[in-house]
Structure 1
Amino acid sequence: MIRMSIDRGQWPQLSRLLDAALDLPPAERDRWIEALDSSFDALKPDLRDLLSRASSVETRDFLNSLPAVSSGSSDSVTDAADHAGRCIGPYRLTRELGAGGMGSVWLAERTDDSVRRPVALKLPHVMSARIGLAERMVRERDILATLVHPNIARLYDAGISPEGRPYLALEYVEGVRIDRYCREQALDVQGRLRLFLQVAAAVAYAHAKLVIHRDLKPANILVTRDGEVRLLDFGVAKLLDDGRAEMTRLTELSGRALTPDYASPEQILGQSLTIASDIYSLGVVLYELLAQTRPYRLSRESRGALEEAILEVEPVRMSGVAPPGMQKALRGDLDTIVLKALRKQPEDRYATVNAFSDDVIRHLRRLPVLARPQSTWYRVSRLIARNRVTAMVVTVASIAVLVGAIVALWQARAAVAEGRRAEEVREFIATIFQEANLDSDQSRPASVLELLKQASNRVDALEAEPAVRVELLTLIGSGLLSLDDTDALENVARRAVDEGTQSLGSDHPLTVRARILMVWAHMYRGRTQEAGGEIDALMQVMTRDESAFGEELIELWRIRADQAIDAHRYEDAEAAAMQALTRAEASFGAQHPESLRALGVLSTAYRRQDKHAEALRTAERGRDLALKLFPDGQHAMAIFARAEYGRALAEAGDVAGGVEQLSLATRDAEKLYGPTARTVGFHLQNITQYHLQLGSIQAAVVSSTRAFDIMKEHAEPDTFNYAAALNAKTQALLAARRGEEALPATAQIQEAAKRLFGDTHPNAVGARASHALALGLSGRVDEGRALIDAVLADARRTQKPSARPFYIAGDLERLAGRHARALARAEEALALLNGGDGTAAELARVQMQVGLARVETGAAEAASMLDQALSGFRESQSEMTPAQADALVGRARLHLDAGRADEALPLLIEADQFWRDFDDQSRWAGEAALWLGRCLRTLGRGPEAADVLDRARRTLSHSPILNDRELVTRI
């Protein structure tokens, strides 16, 4: 039999020898042992003993451990006799539920007048004369008879058939294995813990009856349709004697009945068992339910490697191997609880199952658990968790978000925060949050930004090593990055970089992380060139030793993609984003937050290249992953993923759907960060362009004005981000034809674009065209025409010019009264748009312009072009716009020219009402009123016509356009 004196320290070497021997044919094993070096002499007896019991060593389930007992023909009962319909005692077999080496289990029912109910009938394969198995059956009957608990499958009956075959009639449980049930029901962490507590209650009850199970595993734990647990198979259980279960002659005959994956170290060594053995097995079961894998990573797949791991290797923390969506919930308390249950020494585990389950319950109630020391840091983290649903919900939730971000970052980088430095970092952060005094009755606890600023100031006075100070500043800066405070972020990041460079060196890992934080500050300030230079420098440092900068290198590839997008190098952005995604999925898996971040940047890169199908597919994948990782949506990554999905949706053609998604993302960002956060500004800026596409001009003015007011607090005036926000506002003002308001901004944007991109870059060309339009709308038509002529000359030299400068040129020529030139410019724009570029609303706008120019010049097909424009506006825009009102006026004029004033009237009433609601002081309001008045006069409605024409005269007399003032004299 297996020796009971195997030394724990010898086991790893013995296990490797056993693996090697088992790979040999049985006939060669003795010769191989004799040939071993003399240094192995002390292990040879144990090795021979183990090899002599190879079948027991390789067993993986009790039912497969048939003892080696010889049997005569007179004692045998064959499986062939078992079939549906056969009777065993008072039970008729219905169908086989399962079978193993020891016996089978059948669904059966009684044939006599007793209670008719289905039972699970347990039958051995051999006669009762085989003493070992009969003893087991009797023992299981005796044990189960003492256990009456709602979570333990009950014993209904036991006996011996007329053929001498023992049987047990057990409660038939219609259920599935607990691990499968958790998967199929997609239970969250709390749901799995509550299910586990039912198992623990059953085991604790058995222990109170002095019974240990000794084979706890998911296969022996079923869950019913109603979510009730049933614990099965006490066939290997042992009644305790003074708390210990010794080996018996039965165990020697049958082999050690255990399932190695769930066996405790003392079971592996064949030592006496206590309730601590069941606690260990429960720990493995809980580990597997939560992490969805088992505790040990094996270097080789063998029984020996598994037993070596159980005896010698510390389990991996669940939070490091669980699916990404569960890692955060497992980090901390649950990791600690389960690792305590899995301690190698029985005395180091929980003293009882009740103590184990009590800690699980304390965790569910957000109370400190007993498995870990009561440090300041730990007490503060529990204090914050308990207060998330108090009246201080907004502040506390913000603090909780920050704590989560900082703790997660710190834990991810714990490998570089060793020893005393690690403890200094933890206690410093704990002290800061403890000062928030969340359990007090103060009406207003410290806000998260106040806490961070306090922390930042205290670092200066902290007597600590430079490494501690740099790490603390970087952690605080990461919190500020998450909370969108650009000023504070840059201040802290610069201090961290300066101290790290001076004290540790610019290439030290802590300094590198601080430099990455500074790159983010450059990006948010709009300093694209500074960001690009630092990214290149950091890439050189990190690629020299990629193993030291795994997560940071992925982040840097993402930043490089963002920076390339800002610099309009979209192919470079796509390549960098693909690098980030590939590396993230290889390092963390496809269901990890790092992969989610990379998906968002990749979708943006696709969008900017007009790869709309790829962008939407990628963004949708990111949106779905974000909802899986952050179901409540209140997380920075979930907000970003939803916003990116909205942009991809809009640019793929569903503009209204895109605005809806972006609006939801903006709402969530306001809740998480506050109404003036940088992220809110970015989302509002993006919403503006889609409002313009939908024709929601007034909404675009509101959203763009608010976006700019936010962004100017975060970005410097000479940066791209500042100019982009200002440009969104000017585009809305130009769409509303408020040229004088837009003019100062367009001048500023024109200079910024020239400085950032150069004269011929599409952004610079577009900025100059906008300024030309603003000049014209402000009454400086000739200046605008001169500028737009220069812009068109540059645009024509490009390989793929935008249509926008051409139709802006058409607007300016029309304002100047040069309608033939207006028609030529508009037709050039139409030709470019007919090539496939531009939105449906943009195409309708140019069709309107061509139609109006044809009306003015008397060219053919004006009506057809205006009808196409009106149809395009109605299909693509949810509200009437100035351009659509222009088309209505133009179409009405054609009706008037044809003598159909009655058909012109409703079109002119609609256009006039639009302008009265939209901007009754606009010169276009005056123009619409002018044509409505003429129509009314034609229809013989003199008094009405006089009132409307008088309104037109007053409006046009204040127009900055010279031709309008001349027009007034002809009314």
Structure 2
Amino acid sequence: MDDAQLRRRSALIAEALERDPATLEGWLATLPEEEARAVRRALELQARPDAGNLGGVSADRFAHALAAAVDRGAIPAAHAGDRFGPWSLTHKLGEGGMGEVWKAERADGLYQGAAAIKLLRADVDRHVLARRFAREREVLARLDHPNIARLLDAGLADTHPFIVLEYVEGRTLLEHAAQRKLSTRARVSLVQKVAEAVAHAHGRLVVHRDLKPHNILVTDAGVPKVLDFGIAALLDAEGQAGDGLTRATGRALTLEYSAPEQVAGTATDVRADVYSLGVVLYELLAGSRPHQPKDGTRRSLEYAIVHDEARPLAGSFDASLVAVLARALAREPERRYPTMAAFADDLARWLDARPVTATTPTALQRLLLWSRRNRALSIATAAALVAVTVGLVAAIWLAEQARGQERVAVAALADAQQQALRAKAALARAESESSRAEREAANAQQQAAIATSESDNAKRGEAKALAAEAASRRDKAQAESEAGKAKAVSAFLVDIFQAADPEKAKGEKLTARDVVDAATTELDRRFATQPETRAELQRTLGTTYTSLQRPDKALPLLLAAANAEEAKSGKGSLERARILLSLALAESDAEKFADAVGHYREALPIVEAADGPVAESVALGKVYLTFAQCKVEPNDACLVTSEKLAEDVRARLGETHWLYAEAQNGRATGLSVIGRWREVPGVLRPLEPILLTPPPGKVVSALTIRGNLAISIYRSGDIVGAAARLGPLTDDLAKVLGPDANQTLIHRWYLAEFQRQLGEYRDCQAQNAQLVEVRSRTSGPDHALTIDVLSKAAICARAANDPAAAKAYFDRALAALPEKDVPPQRSVLRALVGLANVAIDAGDLPRATALLDRSQALITALKLETGDEWLMLCALRATVRSATDAPGAAAQLSADFATPTGARTAGSHALKGILSYVLAQAGQSDRAREESATARKLAATRIPATHPYFAVLDHVDAIASGDPAKKAATLAALETAAKRPATLPLAPLWFTL
């Protein structure tokens, strides 16, 4: 079926829905047989089972009862407290042409809930509206979509007909966008969801015909809900008028959002809804509607809608978005999107940075769209291209300035030469006059002296002009050199960028790492004789490697760039200081915290002197310095930098400024590092108003800080609350940055960990399996982060009773481990500890011992003897030792946990549980029961009561009792609760470690 047939078929179905049933068959008989058959089939599809019997009242009985009710006389006015079925009215929300809308609450005690109840108005001609009221109930029953307010119930209370709708707590579309200060992308995303909802209704033969911002509410969670579906298609001229231009006429349309054919009174179909939603999107983006009456009258507005094209979207909007909106707002229906689904699809294409069907993209537009879709690939060149653009502009400006100076110098030289000629002529005249007469000799000599002086002045002017000309030539040469350098960099980056084009990559899927690797490889060859250009690119590529979590590759590039800048401008150079800040960040990522602290302390005073004490560059540098300082010296002194920063920002900018949130986040990070993580929620929670409405460009930072809050809540013991926060945050990060972005993956890693802690092992295994796939693809199969998630996937697979998958992950992780731990990496340490946990659970204690020995060497190299990894290592070592030397294991673990670092175990149900297990095996029954009781109390507030952890503690208590029968029974109960066999000794993963 072509577009023309589809449009005609759609119009016929819409007309059939409007016709009176008594005249329908006669009208169908006038249609060609094939079209009549298609319309009948469509009308049959609208009859859904749930539309026939809702709330115990069938559609037909509802209509007949409603007609009988209005025939019996006036419908009484409603009042607060009136009951309608199980619902009790609380207050009136509003009223329209057909009915009143009240808020109601469930009053039968079955459950608590609110709803919106629509009642037939008592002050209108009820015979005219009764049939339409019944039909609205039937129409709404067909619709079931998350972005459409649902029909919940319908019925008759005495003589009062009512319809119960989902109550939507929220703001209108325009109010929500203004209050949240939504970006263009966020606004388009809301309308795209509305378009999908309306397309769902069109598929069930329901046309809205009154789409406007007032009929679209957005919840606090950002979910749009379309209201009053089917009403506009059912109302007629009897609908009550509104204020100003918002008056219903003819088919109950709201003029400002009506399609031209609606205003003209000609045949309409689903494309009228496309137009109306286009007006909504236009107003949401531009702040005004596409048609404005010339004289402010209704007649003028009607004329503009029918006869004038919609004003193009003005401002700095993307050309593709302008084209999409122009097609939706085309005056003739045949030039619009043929369906609402097509409109929704093009909006989705724009959101995904794919070419839209509304326009044919140019080659440049295709390249730009490609870079938006492949954000990970284009990030490698984005910063450098910006620098190149600025460099080109600056170089061109400098060249123009040099050319201007050259023109001035040449003019000055010509003027000096003219003065010299005049001086020479004067000297000749003076000499001639001197020879004629003796009496004029004195005068001649005087004239000669003057002429000689003028000649000397002219020579000095000529020398100055020559010097100015030389200086201008040097400036010109330097400007041309800068322009040449910028063009060379541009050409280099374009070559590298084009190499990543799938059309030129011979079908291979290239990653951002591939692009940056290629650029780095080519760097020395392309710029061997251009050290300054090479240094600029080294800096750009170094920072890119840092963002790709490859500090090992970032460090040599950034160090080389810093050295080149030092050789060029000296140690006190501002540019060198800025490079050092980037270098320090990469050093922190590489666990070289002492080096990072040194570079931060060297660079920050220089940058602060140039930018100011509360500039963003300085503030973020101090935040990162706090983290590194606390890693090097984990005590209260390391917090001073961030605390002082927070005080400065509060005093100069106020607590509502974004940098205050950054400063407090730095303090919170430091508190977490030094073990004072219970204080972190108290620092971050007051920031939530700022974090929920971040300034432009800070959305990702806000989401990250909110993620830090969720993680701190988890570490404080509220695992359920943390998981509830982190899930939506991770989804938001995936929408903003993409599912493969590093920040998204970090938060998904934590989400998987929360799932493991809560005993949701299958979900944890699935989450980690996805992380393994993405990390292998984006970071590389041998990257430390990939090895880390492989170990976590193996743990969850063991807990989920999938030993085959666990072994596969375990073997992949072992094969990917680096041969030598140079440089030492914390992610590798985490992976080793996780793999040792798996080995113990599988009964392979020799392999576990080898992995723990390597872990201990890494802890020493990384100076993490006071970190969480050391506590985990102690628990794992004690578990292995307990198999052959339970008393020695108990003594060693007790001593480890008695250290200042071990004091942190007081709040860990996992470590307390492991200690109780080791003590019970060593025969220290009283202490074992004491530690078990503490562990049980801690766990009761953190994990579900059905968690196998509690069965583990039952087994520990049985061991402590010395009763073999209890020990055997609790072990069997443990295996039943965990749905998997247990290998002794029980690995720490049984205790959620």
| TM-score category (smaller protein) | 0.3 to 0.5
Tell me the TM-score normalized by structure 2: 0.44
Tell me the TM-score normalized by structure 1: 0.45
